[in-house]
Amino acid sequence: MVFRHGIMEVMFAFFANSKYMPCPDCGASLAGEEPDEHVCDDERRLDFQMFRLRGQIAKFEADLGAFLESPAGRFETWYAEHRRAA
């Protein structure tokens, strides 16, 4: 396991000798002899980026929910509604 930016990532050693390796940008499976010819699909790249950020997104949602339930969060919610109505 590797910790990056407070997020735990699991690394699998058995992939080290595989003929197929994932593209680091989009996650597509690439044969060892053809990675230079690969062109990432924009939609696949975006999906892969979101997949890689899933832990941080879940943490943000949990942190936001906790903040909104706190006294400071309830005040900020009330204040935002009050300013919008004015």
pLDDT band at 14 (very low <50, low <70, confident <90, very high): low
Give how many domains the chain has, as a whole number: 2
Question: Which residue intervals of the chain are DSSP H helices?
Answer: 42-52, 54-69, 71-85
Give pTM, 2 decimals.
0.58
Q: Which tens digits make up the pLDDT trace of 39-86?
A: 999 999 999 999 999 999 999 999 999 999 999 999 999 999 999 987
Measured CA to CA, the distance from residue 35 to residue 54 in angstroms comes to 26
In a domain, 71, yes or no: yes
Measured CA to CA, the distance from residue 86 to residue 83 in angstroms comes to 5
- The answer to whether 20 touches 13, Cβ cutoff 8 Å, is no
Measured CA to CA, the distance from residue 13 to residue 70 in angstroms comes to 43
Give me the pLDDT at residue 42, please: 95
Based on the fold, state whether residues 1 and 36 are members of the same structural domain. yes
In a domain, 63, yes or no: yes
Q: Which domain holds residue 1?
A: 1-40
20 pairs with which residues across the strands?
31
Give me the pLDDT at residue 34, please: 67
